[in-house]
């Protein structure tokens, strides 16, 4: 097995409120629910919400254990950056804010110049970058 440019990436994070996170990422940002597990699954089980896009090689996994919740501890530099290759639509920012997002300034001036930073209900930051991704 090798790791290459098409290897799938899962970003996993704890969440204290999966419903609020779903409103932010699905109703606000426009991602899809890839998988969901909820309810009583026995000892040590947890609720799980996987979000992404059907054509993407990545997804965001949010987990919550009602018996032993893990409080998210994001820093200002824990970022999920989406490269839009163009202006960030004001309607998108407004929709994300309507669904639980909070616009914040980044301590890194690069992100303030080249994008919009929003905080999700668990405190993690999403940057909508106006630039295109380039690995060169």
- Interior CA angle at 108 toward 77 and 97, to 5°? 70
Share of the chain above pLDDT 70, in %: 94
Is 13 contained in some domain? yes
pLDDT tens digits for 23-53?
999 999 999 999 999 876 666 678 999 999 9
Residues 59 and 91 in one domain: no
The range of the structural domain enclosing residue 20 comes to 9-64
Residues 20 and 60 in one domain: yes
Residues 86 and 119 in one domain: yes
Residues 60 and 97 in one domain: no
Which CATH number fits the domain that encloses residue 54?
3.10.180.10
Label residue 54 by pLDDT band (50, 70, 90): confident
Please say if the pLDDT value at position 1 is more than 90: no
Please state the domain count of the chain: 2
Give the model's pLDDT for residue 128: 98
Is 57 contained in some domain? yes
Label residue 4 by pLDDT band (50, 70, 90): confident
Give the model's pLDDT for residue 44: 65
- Whole-model pTM: value is 0.92
pLDDT tens digits for 81-100?
999 999 999 999 999 999 99
Residues 52 and 93 in one domain: no
Residues 86 and 122 in one domain: yes
């Amino acid at each position: 097995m090798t790791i290459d440019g098409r290897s799938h990436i899962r970003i996993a994070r704890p969440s204290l409120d999966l419903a609020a996170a779903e409103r932010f990422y699905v109703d606000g940002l426009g991602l899809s629910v890839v998988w969901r597990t909820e309810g009583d699954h026995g000892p040590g089980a947890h609720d799980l919400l996987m979000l992404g896009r059907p054509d993407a090689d990545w997804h965001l996994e949010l987990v919550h254990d009602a018996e032993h919740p893990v409080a998210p501890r994001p820093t200002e530099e824990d970022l999920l950056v989406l490269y839009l290759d163009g202006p960030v639509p004001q309607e998108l920012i407004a929709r994300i804010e309507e669904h639980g997002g909070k616009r914040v300034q980044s301590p890194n001036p690069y992100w303030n110049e080249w994008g919009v930073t929003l905080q999700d209900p668990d405190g993690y930051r999403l940057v909508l970058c106006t630039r295109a991704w380039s690995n060169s």
